Chains A and B, each alone.
Chain A
């Protein structure tokens, strides 16, 4: 069966510090991978998605970036965190190109920027 891992589970970082969040998927090949952010009182905002190694699409302009160095690994990074980067970050995956495929989410990372 497929599983998705995210780490760390929680993170407290000072403003201006770098960020690296990792997501890995097991039990499947060539998944579509997604990064979402849930800010306090708001819905899930799609940040990045990837349909293959090295292929990254960005949905919103920000100081975050994403990379996919391996088929089942998706990394969210920042060179300098802002206070507004605080939130709950979720990685998700699915397969195929049909819009009928639901996404499967990881456990999330709670990021607090102080």
Chain B
């Protein structure tokens, strides 16, 4: 039951350009969405989140956009840096104890 989908397993961008990571979900009851960043052999770390009552949240170089009608959210990183290279997980929450994660997208930022 894949309620959160990240259809692109990998993405490669040039340093300084924009990285756009996409996520789709099927359950319209999700009320909170999060992005996590994960380096190899480490646990994921929280990056940015958005409530379902908003359509945009910005934090420095990171912006998350939510399109509820399309059940789609995206993470924009501008400008991309080599240190951004990691696996990015999209997550959606029904409540505090039920968070669903996507399969992840591996971002590679080339110098």
The interface of chain A, by Cβ under 8 A from chain B, is 4, 6, 9, 32, 36, 41-46, 49, 51, 57, 90-92, 94, 96-108, 110
Contacts and interface: CB of A to CB of B under 8 A. Distances in A.
Contact of B103 (A4, A36, A43): A43
Contact residues on B (Cβ < 8 Å of other chain), bracket: 20 to 34
B70 interface: no
Contacts of B36: 105
B89 interface: yes
A110 B43 CA distance: 11
Given A32-B96, A49-B97, A99-B31, A105 B49 contact: no
26 contacts: A9-B41, A32-B96, A32-B97, A43-B89, A43-B101, A43-B102, A46-B99, A46-B100, A90-B44, A91-B43, A92-B43, A94-B96, A97-B96, A98-B96, A99-B32, A99-B95, A99-B96, A100-B32, A100-B51, A102-B46, A103-B99, A105-B43, A105-B44, A105-B45, A107-B41, A107-B42
A42 B89 CA distance: 11
B109 interface: no
Contacts of B44: 44, 90, 105
